[in-house]
Structure 1
């Protein structure tokens, strides 16, 4: 929040304006006011300077000791700056011309040098506050180091001015009074203070409550008055001609007012604002307590009405909280469960292991975990009051409170889900068996149809072509008849070729006559020739000596993969690669086409992929589809091999 109110800022503006008007009247009537001399000006000067020094010393005390060793960097800088200012002000006062033992012009030069240094420190410190936007805390060691450094540098400057004043730019001479250097220094101080006052006023007007916490906490209204008054005082000090001049006293009065404003701002920053913050914090704590009570009631309502069971146990596994859903699930009243051991709701065979698991979970430092391990065992078993066991899906969390660990278990009865899962698994198994049976039946039908086409219809077409060939040799036939017979022969030849292709697609004879390796070679050559897509087969014949079922399934998987490449991949190269170990056969089909999207693999009408998965599953293998190193598609299949899988030729 801001350390001033709009009302205070308005008051500060009017104070500065009134002082400025009064000063302008005095400055513009210098000739008239020059006649006024102050009787006993030295004691009055000393009194005002002493009061200013006391106030600056008080600023140091407030900034340094307000909250012990917990100091902000701004407070440390302010404390050190005003302590150094007070020290220099003291030497200015005692070395002022007219003080006992200090009656020469050189003493006035020393005094004014102390004066310029002290006011320059104040002006630069206030300007630094306006230019700094954030504040942080300073460690005790850093604070002491800054204090020692500041006091040491000040002491060096004091000794240097007292011992060797001739090396310091002249500020006063017996003939001319104030020197040009002194007047330039006063002008610089006036400019710095006017700039600081302007910045402070603009910041005070612009900064709003929400954003004030992001900025340095200073009372900008009071410091605006201080900077304005210090600028006016420097004008007075640049205009006087004699130490008894009224302008000297007026300047000291303005300096005293500026010191008072600075002291008030430092009190606001270091005492009033922190205590106001503490008061606001206390109110916030009270509101937090009320909110906590509301949240507690809300949480209690949620626990009481939750359809999931909730149980909290201590580190000895005694139930200390149970909601109505948990009590109803286990067949107890809430009062019966509270205070009893958790073993009452766990089957006897699981109690020992369950207790050790819970204890181990607490020792790991984890805060929550799902109970149960894998896909087949994602639940635990509960025990009802009637002795009936039932499956539970549960999660457990742990919490340390006052040195004791507590565990909370949230669970639900999944009896119906477990039954449904078992039925689904049974249905899935039956469907897989049905799919496998249908694949086998379809393969047998294909084999039968291919054999019938090749052996019967193929032989008939071949015989028909032979008869046509004999007719073509008859010399008595006309040219027109010869032409018709030649056309019929070409049609029969085309039919035979088509018949062989259909029979090969249904069941390649190479698979029965030469085995899987020979069939894949034929498929590779035919695919390359028919679709103009480069196809490489990387395999050894010894790797592919398999029984008929595995050979047929692998051939169909590769055949379907090549069909998909032709239809969807837009590729110009396909690689089929086999690897075989003692107990596993792995092969992959990869292309350099456009690849396959996730949604394409999940489409319900992707029967080709579904068929391949089912074939692999029937052989207890693993099937995966993915990207081929950033481009194209790669299908990988891993099949376990038993001794019965090998064909007789490869046994």
Structure 2
């Protein structure tokens, strides 16, 4: 890929090379050129230096005043530098040998000292500008203090040069001209300016930008040219011996070129920047207007084609915007609704409070909310053109424009959804009732089967064992017969034990004979013995005096929870704790097992949890499961009691049940 060089940088580079080549030809013939004397050299020198001072003063004015209270470090440094350089340049003019009052050789030394101070300030400031590009804000009081300190330092140096010029190394000797110190200083300035020019050139070439936009706009291509011209001019000033030589005039000419480039690179671009910004702002405004028109067309298209109704009213509740969907929902045309009162689409029974609610919404400062009173059903009632009412799901928002408040409602007809929801709620209620009825029927069947097993089959087995016992007492039985009878007795005993366990699982007799407390004690002991899991039951008998329906439901819930702990939890300890406060019974079942994995509680085949939830729901209770993998499971249950018993002051514990459930 070919390197890209900006056209302006290319022109300035060629100009610099041409002038440098011309200068080299003059430097190579220094003895010949030195013979040419410039008539009225003092006048020409003064005019060119005055032009340079005026340009430097202009740079100071722009860098200081163009930004008011907002200043950056770069603009402050440039302002102080060019002000001090202009002052030193002025004293360089007035102290030049040949000016009125300054005719001694020492005056030429003073003048050249001011010259070196002025040009050194410019040279090293430009070098700093190209090296250090970062910028920071400068407070106004600090900027003013910097100007005062710069002026104070300039005055002190000026006084020192005038009162004690010998304190500085001599720069000029009569009949000899410039000293080696002056020439060496010029060489340092030439090298520094050359480096600065090279760095400016690299910046422009690397960024392919001729200017850097920011707090102070700088055209770096022109500063490259200025540094190059300053290097050339300092070379001329290092070659002359007498003030009227041609080299002095040429050096001043190049100095003016450099000053003009600095002016154009710093002052000109900042003076023209407001006009350029104005043109850019106008173009930007036109572009923004076009974009706004496109957005407006797009917004209009969205509103016109929206499936939901959109309606806007003013603070007088007059409709000022309505889309076709909204008009169709109410059974009107768009023209019918525009300009009419919002009350035409509100049922008569709601009109007297509607205006108050809308105004109250605006006064609260809320910008938007859903309409309606319940969390589940954000709907209000609308009025068809034929007088029929229908449910609407709506949200309202407000905004203030030109000190007037406008309200926008976005809504949709949810008649079908509401009907479907009501049917779903009815089906859910019927299913809950069916589930409750099935649970009751199941418990009755269990109770009946358990009673039949215990009372009938159990008694038959017991009678059979008694008969077998009488048979074993016969003396004339053979050993083989006795062994057979003993085996039969063991089988009958095992059958009776199995029968009792099955009957207890179907319906524990302790629940009917001793109540819930004793039934849970029996369940606790059997669970610990059968599964080897330590189980604690923390409850009072007085707390668990309940009707048969609640006692059975609570027993089955705890039984199901313990079954799940035994099957899935791999727990070593289970804690069951009851608390009763006023008309609420709370209980907790908590284990230290492996917990329930995320998503396992919502499995469609988790019938254990579903059954527990249905039992709790049938009693209008609350059911909550908390589980963390590796830290066990806790189930929290609260059951309202319609006929609370009088108790002392039972502890007000948050009910909770804990079990590890994996169904």
Using the size of structure 2 for normalisation, the TM-score is 0.87
Q: Cα–Cα, structure 1 residues 24 and 391, in superposed 2: closer, same or farther, change >3 Å?
A: same
Residue 434 (structure 1) shift: 0.7
1:252 Cα deviation from its structure 2 partner = 2.4
Matches within 5 A, 1:92-491: 92-133=92-133, 144=144, 146-165=146-165, 169-170=168-169, 172=171, 174=173, 182=182, 185-207=185-207, 217-375=217-375, 377-474=377-474, 476-491=476-491
Distance change (3 Å), C-alpha of 1:422 and 1:471: same
Q: Does structure 2 conserve the Cα–Cα contact (< 8 Å) formed by 1:133 and 1:215?
A: no
* Structure 1 residue 203, shift from structure 2 partner: 1.9
Alignment partner, residue 654 of structure 2:
none
Superposed, 1:40-55 pairs within 5 Å as 40-55=40-55
User: Is 48-57 or 112-121 further displaced after alignment?
Assistant: 112-121
Give the equivalent residue in structure 1 for 2:604.
604
CA distance in 2, matches of 1:578, 1:152: 90
Separation in 2 of the partners of 1:375 and 1:210?
Answer: 63
Q: Secondary structure of the residue that 1:321 maps to in structure 2? A: strand
The answer to whether the Cα contact below 8 Å between 2:595 and 2:633 also exists between their aligned partners in 1 is yes
**Residue 212 of structure 1, CA deviation:** 6.4
Q: Pick which of 149-158 and 305-314 moved more.
A: 149-158
Q: Which moved more, 1:64-73 or 1:317-326?
A: 64-73
> In structure 2, the residue corresponding to 1:643 is in which secondary structure?
coil
Whether the aligned pair in 2 keeps the contact of 1:219 and 1:268 (CA below 8 Å) is no
- SS at the partner of 1:412? strand
Distance 2:348 2:147 in 1: 73
> Shift of residue 72 of structure 1?
5.8
CA positional deviation for 1:581 = 0.9
| Contact 2:211-2:219 within 8 A present in 1 as well | no
8 A contact 2:585–2:638 mirrored in 1: yes
Change (3 A) 1:106 1:354: farther
Distance 1:116 1:130 in 2: 21
Distance in 2 (alpha carbons) for counterparts of 1:454 and 1:88: 124
Deviation at 1:315, TM superposition (A): 1.4
Alignment length (residue pairs): 644
Three-state SS of the structure 1 residue aligned to 2:599 is helix
* 1:183 Cα deviation from its structure 2 partner: 5.3
Distance 2:210 2:581 in 1: 72
Partner of 1:78: 78
CA contact (8 A) 2:211 2:221 kept: no
Q: Residues 331-353 of structure 1, C-alpha deviation per residue, up to 9 Å, x if partnerless?
A: 33323322222222222332233
Contact 1:613 / 1:623 at 8 angstroms: preserved in 2? yes
CA 1:435–1:39 in structure 2 vs 1: closer, same or farther (change >3 Å)?
same
**Matched ranges for 1:510-529 at <5 A:** 510-529=510-529
- When residues 524 and 316 of structure 1 are mapped into structure 2, their CA distance, relative to the original with a 3 A threshold, is same
Q: Distance in 2 between the 1:160 and 1:592 partners?
A: 92
Q: Contact conserved, 1:547 with 1:645, CA < 8 A, in 2?
A: no
The secondary structure found in structure 2 opposite 1:20 is helix
Deviation at 1:433, TM superposition (A): 0.7
The answer to whether the Cα contact below 8 Å between 1:450 and 1:507 also exists between their aligned partners in 2 is yes
Question: Contact (CA 8 Å) 1:546, 1:645: kept in 2 or not?
Answer: no
Deviations 1:199-254 (A, max 9, x none): 32222122257996689742111111112222333344344444344443333222
- Note the C-alpha offset of 1:539: 2.5
- Distance, in Å, in 1 between the alignment partners of 2:549 and 2:236 is 113
Change (3 A) 1:174 1:461: farther
SS at match of 2:369: strand
Contact between 1:368 and 1:395, CA under 8 Å: does it hold in 2? yes
30 and 416 in structure 1: CA distance in 2 versus 1, 3 angstrom threshold: same
TM-score, normalisation: structure 1: 0.89
| Stretch of structure 1 that moved more, 158-167 or 529-538 | 158-167
Q: Which moved more, 1:606-615 or 1:261-270?
A: 261-270
Question: Which runs of no fewer than 5 residues in structure 2 stay unpaired?
Answer: 651-663
Question: Would you say the 8 A contact 2:84–2:151 is kept in 1?
Answer: yes
Which ranges in structure 1 are unaligned for 5 or more consecutive residues? none
Deviation per residue, 1:485-538 (Å, 9 max, x gap): 444443333333333332222222222222222222322233333333333323
Post-superposition CA distance 1:357-405 (Å, at most 9, x none): 2222222322221112323541111122332222111111111111111
Distance of aligned partners of 1:78 and 1:547 in 2 relative to their CA distance in 1, 3 Å threshold = same
Per the alignment, do residues 511 and 97 of structure 1 end up closer, same or farther by CA in structure 2, a change over 3 Å counting?
A: farther
**513-522 or 460-469: bigger deviation:** 460-469
- The 3 A distance-change label for structure 1 pair 211 and 610 is farther
Which moves more between the two structures, 625-634 or 217-226? 625-634
Superposed CA offset, 1:62-81 (max 9, x none) = 44455766666544443343
